[in-house]
Amino acid sequence: MQDLEIGPFLAFILVTTFTPGPNNISSALMGLNFSYGKTLPYLFGIISGAASITFTCGLLSGSILEAIPSLDRGLRWFGAAYILWLAWMTLKTSWKLDRADSPPKLPGFKEGVFLQLLNPKLFVFAVSLFATFLRPIAEKPFHLFLAVLLLTGVNFASITLWNLCGACLSRHVSNPGIRKSFNTLLSLLLAYTALTLLVK
């Protein structure tokens, strides 16, 4: 671990974790449409799924995509399809915001986990991380566990921040038309995220 370059490592973690992606954008959407407390199961689903995948990638030490090259393209297509579905559901939610008799459906724990299984950004992040910065700890389960625990904390801080920003916006924007506009904007960002997965 003494060979770890802290500066580049932290920059990689923070930029990758806090920049827009399926987890952060969907967390902001949940905050915009529901309260923070109600969306906690969804957020816990995100970090549970992300932690499991990150730990698995760490154990396999970056050899997953090398052993199965087609997995990368398959993940991108399935992930893009699921993210586009999220974008479509977001648009549908925005149409229901001003209808008290038809409240939007609140995603839960399993939806948060399922998003991770089809999140190429997470797989590429985890594989890159353990194939470069954290390669020395791949064969040390305890150190690997501590690294995943740290990454999970950073991940939870990120999705919480995005969620609270959405919730804060919701409290200060009572006009349904404006809220629908924000919902539409975020759904378009999700769609853009999905499309960028296919062209990389």
Is 91 contained in some domain? Answer: yes
pTM of the model: 0.72
Q: CA–CA separation, 109 vs 45, rounded Å?
A: 4
Q: CA–CA separation, 103 vs 120, rounded Å?
A: 31
Residue 77 amino acid letter: W
Is 1 contained in some domain? Answer: no
For 97-125, the pLDDT digits (tens) are 444 445 557 889 999 999 898 887 787 77
Is 41 contained in some domain? Answer: yes
Q: CA–CA separation, 118 vs 86, rounded Å?
A: 12
Close Cβ partners of 124 (under 8 Å, ≥ 6 residues apart): 72
Residue 175 amino acid letter: N
Is 83 contained in some domain? Answer: yes
Domain housing 27 = 6-199
Is 179 contained in some domain? Answer: yes
Is 166 contained in some domain? Answer: yes
Count structural domains, the chain. Answer: 1
For 125-148, the pLDDT digits (tens) are 787 777 667 777 766 778 888 889
pLDDT band at 75 (very low <50, low <70, confident <90, very high): low
Rg, C-alpha atoms of the chain = 18
Residue 113 amino acid letter: V
Is 76 contained in some domain? Answer: yes
How many of the other CB atoms lie within 10 Å of CB of 61?
17
